[in-house]
């Protein structure tokens, strides 16, 4: 398996946008190339949860993410919801991995049933059909039987279902610590080195 060099990060309208934004920052810091997709609902959540105005135009959003993350030239791209000529829309040029974080139940259901009605869903469909790693971070509680059936279907197709469930054995002191725990687990699944948390069994420095 080749090292992961490019990761698509999709932000949807579930609660938990701090996870997705922190993930992008950490991937950029690790030297990974990042392709960002986001839904209209994610813009609403950004304002509600963080007081952030996520630009509607992909070009403006790209500049916003670059300034926020400190990405180098060419390291970060943002694509619009209907940008069907984006690399992620085709199996001839997919990312090495894709993370939908946070993932709404609607997005998860659409991916599970191969609807591909927008670029996020299409990119996930491409990831599955090309055998690339697909990580879904579903944020909902409680899960209905329908939610669980869709997650089971996707897990059987090879997707990683990674609910944002912070651990407390690291003794988090802040919300940021709890966010980092979840982002660390995503980075582990991508096999990208990080130092976000102290691992189980490690002696505190």
Contact 118, 84 (CB under 8 A): no
- Chain segment 129-164, per-residue pLDDT in tens: 999 999 999 999 999 999 999 999 999 999 999 999
87 in any annotated domain: yes
Domain count, the chain: 1
128 in any annotated domain: yes
196 in any annotated domain: no
Known binding-site residue numbers for dimethylallyl phosphate: 169, 185
Known binding-site residue numbers for FMN: 13-15, 39, 104-107, 139
As a whole number of angstroms, the distance between CA 28 and CA 22 comes to 10
Confidence at residue 199, expressed as pLDDT on a 0 to 100 scale:
85
161 in any annotated domain: yes
| Full residue range of the structural domain in which residue 165 is found | 6-190
Pairing status of strand 76-78 against strand 97-103: unpaired
204 in any annotated domain: no
205 in any annotated domain: no
CATH number at residue 117: 3.40.50.1950
Known binding-site residue numbers: 13-15, 39, 104-107, 139, 169, 185
- 33 beta partners: 6
199 in any annotated domain: no
54 in any annotated domain: yes
Confidence at residue 201, expressed as pLDDT on a 0 to 100 scale:
83
Confidence at residue 205, expressed as pLDDT on a 0 to 100 scale:
60
Q: Residues near 53 by Cβ (< 8 Å), separated by ≥ 6?
A: 43, 46, 47
Task: Count the Cβ atoms, other than its own, within 10 Å of residue 20.
Answer: 29
Which parts of the chain register pLDDT below 50? none
């Amino acid at each position: 398996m080749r090292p992961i060099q490019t990761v698509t990060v999709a932000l949807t309208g579930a609660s938990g946008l701090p996870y997705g934004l922190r993930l992008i920052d950490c991937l950029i810091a690790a030297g990974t190339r990042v392709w960002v997709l986001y839904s209209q609902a994610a813009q609403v959540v950004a304002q509600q949860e963080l007081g952030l105005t996520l630009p509607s135009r992909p070009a403006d959003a790209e500049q916003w993410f670059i300034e926020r993350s400190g990405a180098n030239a060419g390291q970060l791209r943002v694509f619009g919801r209907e940008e069907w000529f984006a690399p992620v829309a085709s199996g001839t040029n997919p990312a090495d991995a894709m993370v939908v974080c946070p993932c709404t139940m609607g997005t998860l259901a659409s991916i599970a049933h191969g609807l591909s009605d927008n670029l996020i869903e299409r990119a996930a469909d491409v990831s599955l059909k090309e055998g690339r790693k697909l990580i879904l971070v579903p944020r909902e509680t409680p899960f209905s039987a329908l939610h669980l059936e869709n997650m089971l279907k996707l897990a059987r197709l090879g997707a990683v279902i990674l609910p944002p469930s912070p651990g407390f054995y690291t003794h988090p002191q802040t919300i940021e610590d709890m966010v980092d725990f979840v982002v660390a687990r995503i980075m582990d699944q991508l096999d990208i080195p990080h130092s976000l948390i102290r691992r189980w069994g490690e002696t505190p420095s």
